[in-house]
Amino acid sequence: MSKKRPASEYQKTFAFRFFRWLSGEKDPYIGEMEMHPQEEYQPDREAALRHEREHDAIMDKVYDTEHNRSLHLFHRLYQATSILFCLFLIALLLVTISYLPATGTVNRPVNNEVAKRYIEKGLEETGAVNIVAGMILDYRAFDTLGESHVLFVATITVLILLRLNKTQKDEAEISDRRFEPKNDAILQLVATFLVPVIIIFGIYIILNGHLGPGGGFSGGAVIGAGLVLYLNAFGFKKTERFFTEKTYKWVCFFSLSFYCLAKSYSFYTGANQLHSVIPKGTPGAILSSGLILPLNIAVGLVVACTIYAFYAMFRKGGF
Amino acid sequence: MYFILLSIFFPILAGLFLLIRFRTPLSGEKAGTDRKPLLVLTGIFLVITAVFAFAAPLTAREGFTLFYLTETLPIYFRIDSVGQLFSLLAVIVLLCAGFFSFSYMKHEERESRYYGFYLILFGVLNALCFAGNLITFYLFFELLTLSSMPLVLHNGSREAIMAGLKYLFYSLCGAYGALFGIYFLYQSCDTLTFTAGGVLKETAVTQHGGFLLLTAFVMLLGFGVKAGMFPMHAWLPTAHPVAPAPASAVLSAVIVKAGVLAVVRITGYIFGTGFLRGTWVQTVWMCLTLITVFMGSMLAYREPVLKKRLAYSTVSQLSYILFGLAVMNEASLVGSLFQVLAHGFVKAALFLCAGAIIYKTGKTRVEEMRGIGKEMPLTMWCWTIASLGLVGIPPTGGFVSKWYLALGSLKSGLPVLDVLGPIILLVSALLTAGYLLPLTIHGFFPGGDYDYSGLQKKEPRKLMTVPILILTSLPVVIGLFPDTIAGIILMAVKGR
Amino acid sequence: MGPNLFTNYGEAVSAVLFCIGFTNLLLQTNLIKKIIGLNIMDSAIYLFLAEKGYIAGRVAPIVVNGVTSTEAYINPIPSGLVLTGIVVSVSVTALMLSLTIRLYTRYHTLNLDEISMQLKKEGK
Amino acid sequence: MIISVILIPFIAGILVPIIPFQKRWQKEVFLETAVVLNSILVWYLLLHHSDSTFLLAHFTGNLNISFRVDGMSMVFAGLVSALWPFATLYAFEYMTKEKHENVFFLFYTLTYGVTLGIALAANLLTMYFFYELLTLVTVPLVMHTLTREAILASRKYLYYSLGGAAFAFLGLIMVIVYGSTTDFILGGVLDPAKTVGKTNVLLLIYVMAFMGFGVKAAVCPFNSWLPQASVAPTPVTALLHAVAVVKSGAFAIIRLTYYSFGTDFLKGTWAQDVVMAVVMFTIVYGCSRAVKETHLKRRLAYSTISNLSYILFGAVIMTPLGLVGALTHLVFHAVMKISSFFCAGAIMHQTDRHYVHELNGLGYKMPCVFGIFTVASLALMGVPGLAGFVSKWNLAQAAVESGNPLAWGGIACLLVSALLTAIYMLTIVVRAFFPGKDFDYGTVSGIRDPNWKMLLPLFIFTVFIILFGVYSQPLVDFFMEVAGGNI
Amino acid sequence: MNFICNFPFFSILLSLFSGTVCSVLPAKAAKAVNRVVIIAVGLMSAVLLLYLLSTGESFIYWMGHFPAPWGNEIRAGVLEAGMALFFCIIMYLSMAGGAHKLPGEVVESKHNLYYILVNLLLSSLLALVYTNDMFTAYVFVEINTISACGLIMIRQVGRTIEAAVRYMIMSLLGSGLLLFGLCIMYDLTGHLLMSNIKESVAQLIAAGEYQIPLIVSVALMCIGLCIKSALFPFHAWLPDAYGYSTVSSAAILSSLVSKGYIFLLIKIIYRVIGFDIFNSTRIIDVLFVFGLMGMIFGSLSAIKENDIRRMIAFSSVAQIGYIYMGFGMGTQAGMVASVFHILSHAATKSLLFIAAIGLTDVSGGSRKFIDLTGAAYRNKWAGVAFTAGSLSMVGIPLFSGFISKLLFAQAAVQVEGKMLASLIVLGISTVLNAIYFMKTVIRIYTTAGESPYSGVTFRDMKAYAVTLLFFILLNVALGVSSQPVVNMIEQGLAMFA
């Protein structure tokens, strides 16, 4: 204690505290016991507002994509990982492919009894010269049934998305007219020549589906293309004379119903080992191969209408 | 047997009766006029209790079981000489302080509460002295804490309440430390009945003797709290200044002795001195007591508030006793028990003197008390004699006890401590003289520049002075017949 | 690396194309480009299938002159699968395109991220 | 018979909102009659128990819902059914000040049935089922006041309890897969043939399940729901969060430890050390938080946390004596805590004061309540002669006897906790009786003791606290029998 | 051949055909047709199920005149029939529960289109359930995807369209991978029918040929289907899609569409690759890990969500994680648990969606939690139903969720290496479930003063309430008498092998 220290400093020293405890002046617990009551919860409007403002500020910052560095970084990172992933996928697939059976050779698992029977007995069993057509419309007709319904459901979704109601349709029509090439002479002239040719070609493809390359889908697509060309050349006014939504609806309905019922009959008889009454006909003739031709026609109709409908929907949102 | 029970339960019931019968009105005004019935009743109860307590040892010396807490935990009472010694001290001090407080408590509120708890305390103390096993002892040790706490915080100020709580928690802390030991002892002892020489199982000692030593140490520390031993002494200087003076007297003279009694019981009657002697426990314990002795005196020496100074003094003096117990030979034990008596009477007398001063003059600090001897000569004479007793000037009891203590220590043959102990005791005695006698000197010889004009006779009433006189005379009496008393004690120690 | 990587060069090309399409679908923010990616992906698979059906020196499985021998024709099954696949792809493309149109008329952008941003700002 | 004691509270509870009672007392009489009847039935069942298992329903596989009376269920069912009528009586008076009485009594009575379901469950799955159910039926009670605090509290309660159950579920699975049966058999049902080499995993799962059930028993990291849940009306806090719910957690742990995993399997493993350490920490932690807490009921809740861990401490000693200690404290603490909670409730009901520092000087105005509170405090501290001492004694003896050094440390924790208990309980008592010199008595004028409906349960509980303190031998003997598997 | 054996074929064709028929019908009639078809298919499935249970063995049904491996086939076993029945029940209830909201969500003139989509979705689900041919499966997966997309965006707000785009992109990625895997598989085996592929695969494995391509092909198919069923890292499209579409759509999408893909995956695992071979690949580990991550992250996202329907949607991510975790365990028990969870989750999730709409309706149409305060008092039935659903999700005994949790945990214990991970994650995920569902339940049962919204009574919403009741009953039935269902699943899986 040779040099005098100020009291406040002295009171902080360990010695002082020790001495206080020694002499019984200090209690370890006293400070703990006399506590103030806990505050009741008070809804604080100010704080809430401030919180809200802060929240907004944060949100602004988050959505400020131009200046958000971390977002940029994240994008970069995302892209980099995606690219890496894709490179990895390429490598993986290439490796896989390198182990696959050699293409073009005969002795592969693919060329087994299944393909053999299709080729050897296909003509006999389905009556279709085009083995592929026979396969997809008879051997594996269930897939094809599904496939046509994929198309159907896609049309439905497009309708849901793009079909407009009455008033919207009128507006859309007005705006559409503005962009429509009106009375484009060259187009109309060419169309006059080409459309029948295209449609006839399409019909040919459909009808020969079981005899050669082609079939309902390809033919229908060609016909659809012809219709689209016609629409482009002559406008909705002209097409609506023979093709409206109603037409589309009923054509689709009848085609698909026919498809469904026909195939159901075929499946049912097949599964129950019943005799099917549908004649196979002479291989090579147009009217041959049992249900394949009618089914091709049905599919063709559906596809043609659908292609046209897609176009009309995309362009205007209605027929 | 009945007297034991009566000496225990009569005051407790009487206290409860007082508490309920004399419920003070809530408005908080003083009871004032209708003090008399309360005082009379209390006086009667006190005397009856004292009679019972004196009669108890005369009528029954074999133990009996009151009831069983659980199948293996009897509440068992038995009177032996040590208990009797403590009981003697307790009864005398409580009687004197009780009568002293009749006039002292005039300026305090809620007297009935004070007397109620005072009586309960009386009963509990009796029970403590007569307790025949550790569980019973523990039970009443806890109750002692609880019933004495209201006395400490009686005056109701914030400091008083805090001090009361502090006292409570320190004591409980100690009690729980002891309980920790009891838990283990129960498994390592044949019985928990107090038996001279200890009750430890042989197997337990051989198996985990080390752990038992730790247990003993924890118990010593725990009970040492009550006796104000070093690390847990801090409650004493806080509790004494705020308590009413008679309560302080009881606290300092008797209640802290309960801690001593506990230590006697566990060292002598549970563990047995043979088990503890020469172990690290003894060494550490002695060191702690010596530290306490010295520290208490030093703190007292630099303390300006009178009652606090006395409290520090109690800390220091009690550790004389504990030191003696820690030495664990016959001489030191005699010294300790002698010191119990001597210190008990002396400290009670000192506190009552201080109380008288406070009651009459309201002065609490030592430097305010210049010339007090002129105002209250009788009180100051008593103070002086008692001080001399505490310092250990022959022919007072203090001298005898210190003599025996030093003797025991020197005979113990412990390394270093056997000499260091007496030296520290001596130094402490000097310090004691240093902090007690200045009051006498300044009180009687306030110095040349002192203005005598403001002085007036302030000698208190007889109800106050008589107890002080009795208490002052007793240490002198035992100091005059040291051999007799020591012989009795020796008999008690041997015949345990 | 297996033995047939260079023999199967057609498949290898299809794999690379597939991944290009896949990456486009994943990475492009422009919806139209995404759709193009989709179509590349689908076409890659058709190429793969076509390669699978091919057998060196044989012709398409259309019965010519009543020859129904396995030695004459390639495997018809992959061709059939391709046909089905094409229809699916057309449908999906149409759906995606119509979705794109719808989003474009509403938000005047083809960037999907921007659309998301605008949506979040709308807070609905 | 055995199912009826579970169903009667359900039916009675559901009838409360349905029957259009004209007057309040009719409803009270109806409910009290139902509860008392049920309690009598339970006691009859316990006293005349047969060892047969009552199978209610097949659940899936070899799991079924079935009930049986064994020693443990006797303890818990007996405890619950003894306390419930008093608590109901108390609730009538308390709820006069609260709204939505019918809903309250509906769930309150449902809880009785569910708790009995836990007590009487014969296998782990049944117990788990009722355990989950207990959470659900008590949530409406916690959120009864629909204040913000109540909502937050009930939310937390739900999260904790359901989350805990999720981990307890793992223990259930382990017992299903590695045990020979899910029935409760003292000594455990684990099949030694199946557990070879899986010991550590099983122990890990045991620890998880312990913590899972421990959530209800408020083991340390998962204890904060309990103080918060004390926003519920006091009968709920007292009975559910001091006895029924939290004790269910402890009960479940005892079942899991002694009757499913088996002490032979667990004793001396690291799992025992871990759970014991957790429990010891909780004992001290709960108390120290209670010291800091100023809200009266929350303080008691923290005290409950600590005391529950006493029970668990007894349980994880994993000796029969330990089980005895745990059961003793299970019962005694229930009485002590419910009595102190009812005191707190009475104070809140009469004075609308919730914080400790508001209680100054109330001791003179409500001498009965505070007298009882003092007794309960002393008992909680473990003053000899009152119930708390006996249970602590049993616990400590079990710990000493186990010879596990960690358990010896646990004794130290018990004592530290006892000291802290003294601090947080006696400060209240001191405040109430010694308000200080400058206390203005005007602030407490007009306050008095509550009426007999509140006081009667309190007095009865106090009598039991003292009775258990001085004469607990038959009960402890009974627990010995239970722990020995003789009942 | 018993006539009942035609039922699978009838149900697929009936629903396909009804889709076509609806295109020319007005909305009312389309709705009636839809209901009738679902009921009819359900009845047929029920009869079929009983028949199969009595015979105890599965049967193959030729789609056409040619046997495998030349023609298409469908196959029906106990599991398939049970799934079909269950899907019908859920779909009927979902449609009934969301019917009253439809006029507000979809333009009147497009209602019949909506029913077309639902019918086609049903048919594609049935086809996925019954098919025995991989390529058929692919085609119907596409139908499923497109009609699901249609269901998402039929309610035309910006979010749904964007969600539909995202959904389509992810789905197409998935389809592409699936198709590519399929093609490689075809190249290796030369077959498209499941039974035949399985034989060839077994031979290949036995011969040790083409190991790498085989695994890659399996992996591609798995990843494809995982993406489609919104397994964790591929779930970005899900919340918006489920959160903003029409009620019935959300219910159907979450409970059926993704389940269809998952069921297909199960079929691929059992019928195409072979359970043991599949388990010997490392793919199950990947599925396991992603399943676990999904359980955690799905729930975490749900906790953060402030919109009740998005929250439920995120919960789906977590639940799908459970199912994949079951796959990932690679044991029969795990698979049984997964299949059971498909059922239980379907029953619960649709219930939640339907109940949530009842709650949002009485809260001014807002799905923010703050507005939902006290909604359960305004619409008691929805409140109770939502609570029941939540409890099931959290796994309270008596509800179906508990059983699936039980089965998962039991299965997990038997798997040496994955036990701890799955058990712990199961526990954590239950905690998280509890957090967000119970938060909501408490929220809807909280009264915060006077609410600005008026409540509804039972009379206002009879059909709705009855639907909810049936949902709850279904849930409880699954939870209480689960043993027959589990037995059925085990039997069905045994028939797969």
Q: Hey, are the CB atoms on A35 and D294 less than 8 Å from each other?
A: yes
CATH at residue C18: 1.10.287.3510
Alpha-carbon torsion angle B423, B429, B432, B436, nearest 10: -160
Q: What pTM was estimated for this model as a whole? A: 0.83
Q: In this complex, which of D159, D170, D174 lies closest to E427 when CB atoms are compared?
A: D170
Name the amino acid, one letter, at D144: H
- Distance separating alpha carbons of residues A106 and E310, to the nearest angstrom: 55
Alpha carbon of residue B454 to chain centroid = 37
C52 at interface of A, judged by CB pairs closer than 8 A: yes
Q: B490 to each of B131, B273, B329, B335, E318, how far by Cα in Å?
A: 21, 16, 11, 10, 84
Give residue E42's pLDDT band: very low, low, confident or very high (50, 70, 90): very high
Top-confidence range, A104-108, B31-35, C61-65, E351-355? E351-355
- Distance separating alpha carbons of residues C118 and C107, to the nearest angstrom: 8
Give residue C40's pLDDT band: very low, low, confident or very high (50, 70, 90): very high
Q: Do E115 and A154 meet the contact criterion of CB atoms below 8 Å apart?
A: no
As a whole number of Å, the CA-based R_g of chain B is: 22
Size of interface C-E (CB pairs under 8 A): 81
* Phi, psi for residue E59 in degrees, rounded to 5: -140, 160
Listing DSSP states for A257-318 in one string gives: HHHHHHHHHHHHHHHTTPPP------TTSSS-TTTHHHHHHHHHHHHHHHHHHHHHHHHTS-
* Phi, psi for residue B488 in degrees, rounded to 5: -60, -45
Mean pLDDT computed over every residue of chain A: 79
User: A33 contacts in B (CB within 8 Å)?
Assistant: 165
Give the residue with greater pLDDT, E392 vs C64: E392
D61 at interface of E, judged by CB pairs closer than 8 A: yes
Using a 10 angstrom Cβ sphere, with 0-12 exposed, 13-18 middle and 19 or more buried, the burial of residue A44 is exposed
User: A150 contacts in C (CB within 8 Å)?
Assistant: 87-88, 91
Which residue, B65, C92, A308, B105, is CA-closest to E173? C92
The residues near B310 (Cβ < 8 Å, ≥ 6 apart) are B240, B248, B252, B300, B347, B350, B351, B354
DSSP character for C108? S
A311 at interface of C, judged by CB pairs closer than 8 A: no
Give all chains having 3 or more CB-to-CB distances under 8 Å with chain C: A, E
- Distance separating alpha carbons of residues B357 and B349, to the nearest angstrom: 12
Residue B151, helix vs strand vs coil:
helix
Q: B406 to each of B293, B402, B435, B491, D205, how far by Cα in Å?
A: 14, 6, 22, 20, 64
Enter the tokens of residue E199: 């034989």
Count the neighbouring beta carbons within 10 Å of the beta carbon of residue E102.
21
Whether E225 shows a pLDDT value over 70: the answer reads yes
User: E488 contacts in D (CB within 8 Å)?
Assistant: none
Q: What does the pLDDT read at residue A180?
A: 61
- Distance separating alpha carbons of residues C24 and A43, to the nearest angstrom: 52
Give all chains having 3 or more CB-to-CB distances under 8 Å with chain A: B, C, D, E
| Residue linked to tokens 């020969």 | A208
Degrees to nearest 5, angle at CA B71 with B67 and B76: 35
Q: Where are the domains of chain A?
A: 52-99, 128-315
Give residue E399's pLDDT band: very low, low, confident or very high (50, 70, 90): confident
Mean pLDDT computed over every residue of chain E: 86
Q: Do B320 and B453 meet the contact criterion of CB atoms below 8 Å apart?
A: no
**Chain B residue whose CA is closest to A34:** B162
Specify if C1 maps to a domain: no
Enter the tokens of residue D54: 């009552």
pLDDT in tens, C71-81: 778 888 888 88
Q: What does the pLDDT read at residue A61?
A: 65
User: E217 contacts in A (CB within 8 Å)?
Assistant: 96
Enter the tokens of residue E257: 């569409």
- Distance separating alpha carbons of residues E193 and C50, to the nearest angstrom: 20
* Residue B19 C-beta-side C-alpha neighbours within 13 Å: 19
| Residue linked to tokens 């919104």 | E230
Q: What does the pLDDT read at residue B81?
A: 80
Q: Which residues pair with B305 in a beta bridge?
A: B365
Q: Hey, are the CB atoms on E66 and A252 less than 8 Å from each other?
A: no
Using a 10 angstrom Cβ sphere, with 0-12 exposed, 13-18 middle and 19 or more buried, the burial of residue B31 is middle
Q: What does the pLDDT read at residue A35?
A: 40
User: D173 contacts in E (CB within 8 Å)?
Assistant: 406, 409-410, 412-413, 423
pLDDT in tens, D275-334: 888 888 888 888 888 888 878 888 888 888 888 888 889 888 888 888 888 888 888 888
Residue E467, helix vs strand vs coil:
helix
Using a 10 angstrom Cβ sphere, with 0-12 exposed, 13-18 middle and 19 or more buried, the burial of residue D51 is exposed
The residues near C105 (Cβ < 8 Å, ≥ 6 apart) are none
Distance from CA of E489 to the nearest CA of D (A): 14
User: B312 contacts in A (CB within 8 Å)?
Assistant: 23
Chains C and D lie in contact, requiring 3 or more CB pairs less than 8 Å apart? no
Q: Hey, are the CB atoms on D163 and E406 less than 8 Å from each other?
A: no
Distance from CA of A41 to the nearest CA of D (A): 8
Give residue A62's pLDDT band: very low, low, confident or very high (50, 70, 90): low
Q: Do D175 and D124 meet the contact criterion of CB atoms below 8 Å apart?
A: yes
Average the pLDDT over E313-336 and give the result.
89
DSSP character for E193? B
C122 at interface of A, judged by CB pairs closer than 8 A: no
Chains A and E lie in contact, requiring 3 or more CB pairs less than 8 Å apart? yes
A66 at interface of C, judged by CB pairs closer than 8 A: no
pLDDT in tens, E126-183: 999 998 888 889 999 999 999 998 888 888 877 888 888 888 888 888 999 999 999 8
Ranges of residues in chain D whose predicted pLDDT is under 50: none
Q: What does the pLDDT read at residue E276?
A: 85
- Distance separating alpha carbons of residues B426 and B357, to the nearest angstrom: 30
D55 at interface of B, judged by CB pairs closer than 8 A: no
pLDDT by residue, tens only, chain B of 496 residues: 677 788 888 888 888 888 877 766 544 444 455 677 777 888 888 888 888 877 777 776 677 787 777 777 888 888 888 888 888 888 888 888 888 888 787 777 777 788 888 888 888 888 888 888 888 888 888 888 888 888 888 877 777 877 888 888 888 888 888 888 888 888 888 788 888 777 888 777 777 778 888 888 888 888 888 888 877 888 888 888 888 888 888 888 888 888 888 888 888 888 888 888 888 888 888 888 888 888 888 888 888 888 888 888 888 888 888 888 888 888 888 888 888 888 888 888 888 888 888 888 877 787 777 777 777 888 888 888 888 888 888 777 788 888 888 888 888 777 777 788 888 888 888 888 888 888 888 878 777 676 666 667 777 777 778 888 888 888 888 878 877 777 877 777 765 4
Give residue A222's pLDDT band: very low, low, confident or very high (50, 70, 90): very high
User: D100 contacts in E (CB within 8 Å)?
Assistant: none
pLDDT in tens, A13-60: 777 777 776 666 665 554 444 443 444 455 667 777 787 777 777 766
Give all chains having 3 or more CB-to-CB distances under 8 Å with chain B: A, D
Q: What does the pLDDT read at residue A224?
A: 92
Q: Do E322 and E386 meet the contact criterion of CB atoms below 8 Å apart?
A: no
As a whole number of Å, the CA-based R_g of chain D is: 21
Q: In this complex, which of E396, E427, E438 lies closest to D132 when CB atoms are compared?
A: E396
Q: B98 to each of B248, B350, B378, how far by Cα in Å?
A: 12, 15, 20
Which residue, B211, D121, C115, D187, is CA-closest to E157? C115
Count the neighbouring beta carbons within 10 Å of the beta carbon of residue A58.
10
Enter the tokens of residue B82: 């040590």
Residues A1-33, buried b or exposed e (16+ Cβ, 10 A)?
A: eeeeeeeeeeeeeeeeeeeeebbbebbeeeeeb
Q: Hey, are the CB atoms on A314 and C53 less than 8 Å from each other?
A: no
User: E164 contacts in C (CB within 8 Å)?
Assistant: 99
Whether A197 shows a pLDDT value over 90: the answer reads yes
Name the amino acid, one letter, at A146: G
Distance from CA of E51 to the nearest CA of C (A): 35
Q: Where are the domains of chain B?
A: 1-274, 277-496
Q: Tell me if the bond preceding E69 is cis, omega within 30° of 0.
A: yes
Give residue A182's pLDDT band: very low, low, confident or very high (50, 70, 90): low
Q: Do D282 and D218 meet the contact criterion of CB atoms below 8 Å apart?
A: yes
Q: B259 to each of B151, B198, B285, how far by Cα in Å?
A: 18, 18, 15
Q: What does the pLDDT read at residue B452?
A: 67
Give residue A63's pLDDT band: very low, low, confident or very high (50, 70, 90): low
Listing DSSP states for B346-390 in one string gives: HHHHHHHHHHHHHHHH---BGGGGTTHHHHSHHHHHHHHHHHHHH
Q: What does the pLDDT read at residue E450?
A: 63
- Distance separating alpha carbons of residues E221 and A179, to the nearest angstrom: 46
Q: What does the pLDDT read at residue B30?
A: 47
Mutate to test the interface with E, among D10, D100, D133, D162 (most CBs of E within 10 A): D162
